[in-house]
Amino acid sequence: MKILKNNLDKFFYLFNILFFSISFSNDIDISKLENCVNFKVKTDRNIYFSGESLSLIFDINIDDGFHIYSVHPEKSLSPTYIDIIDSTFFSDLGIINEPIPLKKFDKNFNQDIFYHEDSIQLVKNLNLLDNLKSDSYNVNGVFEYYACDESMCIPRWDDFNFIFKVFEGEKRQEFVIVPFPTDYNDEIPLSDLENEINKGLFSFILFALGMGFLALLTPCVFPMIPITVSYFTKEGEKENNNPIFSATLYALGIVLIFTTLGLLLSFTLGASGAGDIAANPWINIFIASLFIYLAFSLFGYYEIQTPAFIRQFSINQEGRGGILGILFMSLTFTLTSFTCTVAFVGALLATASQGAVFWPIIGMLSFSLAFASPFFFLALFPQYLSKLPKSGGWLNSVKVIMGFLEIAAAFKFISNVDLVWNWGIFDRNVVLLIWALIFILMSLYLLGIIKMPFDTPIKKFSFSRISFLVLFLFIGVYLSSGLFNNKLHGLIESYLPPPKQDSWIENLDEGYSIAKKMNKPIFIDFTGYTCTNCRWMEINIFEENDVKKIFEDFVLVKLYTDGKEEIHKKNRLLEIERFGTAALPYYVILSPDDEVLGTFPGMDTNKDNFINFLNNSRSNFED
C-alpha cells in the first residue's frame, strides 16, 4: 500500500507540475529554465585497474532564482537522478551523494520539498568489474532533473559521457571503497545536523552555539589558555593599549579565521582539509617554534616586534603592529583547535565540500562565536592586571611561569610531528620526562635558584609564592611517577603520544576477514595521530573494565585518517564519503557483511552513553 501511495503521489505531483508549467508557459521565458542548470562531469583520477572504485563527480551550477530537487526518493517526489546507460562495466552502482538539501513547504502540493540552489557537487561511486580488460572506456549516461523557479518546473534529460582508462595490473587497496550504499535506506545521517537544519534557521543557530560551548570542554582547547594569557599580559604593558579593543579583535579574529579558513580548506582540499592542515608536520613545527619563541620573550631575553617591512605601511606603527600580532594569535588559535574536529564541525565541513554554502557558513560562524567567547575574557583580564600599580615584580614572575608552560605545550606539537613522521624519539616517556623537568624548573625559579633578566631580588617568600612552589614541585614529581608504569590522570595522558595497542587492527580488510571467521561485529575507531580528543577517549573510556569486557565481543579496528600514506587517505575517504563527516574521533560498528549497526559521534565524557552504544549495536547484530 505504501508503494502504491508513493506512486500515486508521484503521478499527481508530476501532473501538477506539467499542468502549472503549461498554464504559465505563455507568460514566462522557457529558455531561462532550459538553460538555468549547467554541469561538468569528471572522474576522481586518471588511472584505474580492474576491481577498483571510480567516483563520478558532477559539478553543478544553478542560476539565481532557480533550483533542482534532492536526489533522495523520500525527500522529493521527482528526485534528481543520474542514469548510467553503459552499466555493464560496473559490478556495483552506488547511490548519489549530495549536500544537505534546503527545505521549504510548498503550498501548491501541501508538502515539504527538498531542493538545491547555487553550486553543488553530486558524487556517484561505481565499482569496476574484476575482469575488466585494459582499455579505454567511453560511458554514456543521462542526467535527469526538474529545473524549477518559483512558478513552474520543466523536466530535463541531459546527456553526458565520461572516459576512463583501465591498465594492466592488480587493483590497489587504497582505491577500493568498502562496499558503499546502493540503496537510500542504507544511508547514514549526518548526526543531528540535518534534523536541526530542518527545524529552521533560529533553531539551527542555537544548536550551533550549543555545540560551540560544549567544544570548550574538550582537551584541544587547553593549550591555548596559557598562550592567550601570556600574550595579552605582554600586550597590556604597551602604552596606549586598549584592552577591550584588543580582546574584541582577538575574539572576532578567531570567529572569522576559523570560519573562513575552515570553509576555504573544505572547498579546495575536501572535508578533511582543516584536519589535514592541523596534522601537517610543518604546521606543527611552526606552532611549536612559535610557542618557544614567545616563551623566551616572556623570559625577558628579547622583545617581540613586528617586522619593519610591515610597520612601514602605517604612520601609527605600533597600532598596526599590535593589530597584526593579535590577528596572528587568532590564526594560531584556529590552527591549534583544528587538531580536533568535533562531530558538528566535521559534518559541516563534509557538507561544504559537497558544494553547500549557506548552512556551513551559518553553522561555522555560530559555532566559532561560542567557541571564542571565553577567550575574549582571557585576553581582557591580563591586560588590566598589567596596568595595576606596582605590578612589575610579581607580574614578571607570572610571565616567566607562562613561558615555561608554553615550552611544555610546544613539546605536545613536537610529539605530533614525531608521530606523523615516525621518528620514534619523542614518545610518551620522553615527553613526560621533559614536562616533569619543566615543572621542577618552575619550582626552582620560584625558589630563586634560576633567574631571568628582569627578575627583582626576592626579599621574602610570600604565602602565594611558597604555595605555587610546592604545587609545581608536586606536579613535577607526579609526572615523574608516570615514567614507572604508573597511569596518570586521563586528561594528562590525552596530551601524551599514544602507547601501542596490540589488540587493535589497523587495516579494515583484515578486520572484515577476522570478523567473518569469528562471527563478530567490527568496532571502527576513526582516529588521528594528532587528535587530543581521541587520546582522551582511549585513556578514559576504552580502558574502563566494563568497556574492555564488552570490547571482547568485537573485532577492534583503528583507522588513522591524518597520516600521509595512501592507507590514511583511504580511511579518510571512507569516513567522509560513507558516513558524511570528517570528525575525530568517530566510531562505527559494522557487521561482517558490512551492515551498519550503529554510530557514535565523537568524544563523550559520559561512559554510560558509550556503553549503551556498544550494547545496542551488539544487540542489533545478534538479532
259 and 303 inside one domain: yes
152 and 221 inside one domain: no
User: What is the predicted pLDDT for the residue at 558?
Assistant: 93
Residue 136 resides in a domain: yes
What percentage of the chain exceeds 90 in pLDDT?
A: 21
226 and 120 inside one domain: no
Single-letter code of the amino acid located at 474: F
User: What is the predicted pLDDT for the residue at 528?
Assistant: 85
pLDDT for 363 beyond 80: yes
Considering the chain, what is the average pLDDT of its residues?
80
Residue 481 resides in a domain: no
Three-point CA angle 82, 120, 191, nearest 5°: 95
Place of cell 551550477: 61
Q: Which residues constitute the domain of residue 128? A: 2-177
Strand order in the sheet with 90-97: 37-43, 53-62, 119-128, 90-97
Q: What does the pLDDT look like over 474-518, one tens digit per residue?
A: 999 999 998 887 888 877 887 888 766 667 898 888 899 899 999
Question: End of a domain among 427, 458, 475?
Answer: 427
Highest mean pLDDT among 19-23, 88-92, 474-478: 474-478
316 and 411 inside one domain: yes
pLDDT tier for residue 559 given thresholds of 50, 70 and 90: very high
Domain CATH for 21: 2.60.40.1250
Question: End of a domain among 405, 427, 449?
Answer: 427
Residue 34 resides in a domain: yes
**Averaged pLDDT for residues 555-566:** 86
Task: Assign 537 to helix, strand or coil.
Answer: helix
409 and 530 inside one domain: no
Structure-model confidence comparison of residues 612 and 328, the more confident one: 612
419 and 306 inside one domain: yes
DSSP secondary structure of 287-298: HHHHHHHHHHHH
Phi, psi of 594 (to 5 degrees): 75, 20
CA separation for the pair 255, 306 (Å, rounded)? 23
Place of cell 592542515: 277
- Short-list 545, 559, 551, CA closest to 506: 559
Residue 499 resides in a domain: no
Q: Tell me, what DSSP letter sits at residue 133? A: P
pLDDT for 330 beyond 60: yes
pLDDT tier for residue 193 given thresholds of 50, 70 and 90: low
CA separation for the pair 299, 611 (Å, rounded)? 47
Phi, psi of 40 (to 5 degrees): -125, 140
Residue 210 resides in a domain: yes
Give the residues across from 37 on adjacent strands.
62
User: What is the predicted pLDDT for the residue at 143?
Assistant: 94
**Averaged pLDDT for residues 526-548:** 87
Residue 416 resides in a domain: yes
143 and 72 inside one domain: yes
Domain CATH for 519: 3.40.30.10
Output Rg (C-alpha) for the chain, integer angstroms: 28
Instruction: Compute CA distances 314 → 237, 268, 307, whole Å.
Output: 21, 33, 12
Q: What does the pLDDT look like over 409-445, one tens digit per residue?
A: 889 889 888 888 888 898 889 999 999 999 999 999 9
User: What is the predicted pLDDT for the residue at 7?
Assistant: 47
Number of separate domains in the chain: 3
418 and 525 inside one domain: no
Residue 479 resides in a domain: no
221 and 348 inside one domain: yes
420 and 518 inside one domain: no
Task: Assign 208 to helix, strand or coil.
Answer: helix
CA separation for the pair 19, 32 (Å, rounded)? 19
Answer yes or no: are the C-beta atoms of 299 and 292 closer than 8 Å.
no
- Short-list 222, 378, 402, CA closest to 298: 402
Q: Tell me, what DSSP letter sits at residue 161? A: E
pLDDT tier for residue 274 given thresholds of 50, 70 and 90: low
140 and 221 inside one domain: no
User: What is the predicted pLDDT for the residue at 475?
Assistant: 93
User: What is the predicted pLDDT for the residue at 361?
Assistant: 86
Place of cell 575574557: 377
Residue 371 resides in a domain: yes
pLDDT for 591 beyond 70: yes
CA separation for the pair 495, 515 (Å, rounded)? 32
334 and 378 inside one domain: yes
Q: What does the pLDDT look like over 115-160, one tens digit per residue?
A: 888 888 898 989 999 889 999 999 999 999 988 887 778 888 999 9
pLDDT for 210 beyond 60: yes
**Averaged pLDDT for residues 568-596:** 85
Place of cell 568496532: 523
